[in-house]
């Protein structure tokens, strides 16, 4: 299936995201990150509206239950979501 043989390229659907003032930017800024997976005619939201700001010399750990979206969040930030079936459908990573 599509999950077993993902494409090497992540599909990113463009949507307008509010601008962030330059003086508020960190080393990593994620605003409104949303990732979905399509299986047949069904669409499943794996990541919904993640916002985070990581400053210089800061470290972040994602903790949660199995299946809560930790890996998909990390893959989305790195633009490594398997496409198809996955697609980053909203947000911005800087």
| Average of per-residue pLDDT across 35-49 | 90
Cα→Cα distances 17→21, 40, 41, 51, 64, Å: 13, 28, 27, 12, 27
Q: Which of 7-16, 31-40, 62-71, 81-90 has the lowest average pLDDT?
A: 7-16
Q: Could you list the residue range(s) of the whole structural domain that residue 18 is in?
A: 11-93
pLDDT tens readout for residues 47-59: 888 998 888 888 8
Number of compact structural domains in the chain: 1
Q: Per the domain annotation, does 16 fall within a domain?
A: yes
Q: Residue 21: which pLDDT band, with cuts at 50, 70 and 90?
A: low
Residue 3 inside a domain? The answer is no
CA 73 to chain centre: 5
Residue 6 forms part of a structural domain: no
Question: pLDDT by residue (tens digit) across 61-88?
Answer: 989 999 888 999 999 989 898 888 988 8
> In whole angstroms, what is the distance from residue 11 CA to residue 91 CA?
13
Is the pLDDT score of 12 beyond 80? no
Residue 43 lies in a domain: yes
């Amino acid at each position: 299936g599509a999950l077993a043989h993902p494409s090497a390229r992540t599909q990113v659907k463009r949507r307008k995201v509010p601008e962030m003032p330059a003086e508020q930017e960190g080393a990593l800024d994620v605003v409104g990150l949303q990732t979905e997976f399509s299986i047949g005619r069904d669409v499943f939201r794996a990541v919904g509206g993640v916002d985070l700001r990581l400053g210089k010399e800061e470290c972040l750990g994602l903790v949660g239950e199995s299946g809560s979206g930790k890996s998909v969040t990390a893959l989305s930030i790195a633009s490594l979501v398997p496409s198809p079936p996955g697609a980053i459908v909203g947000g911005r990573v800087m």
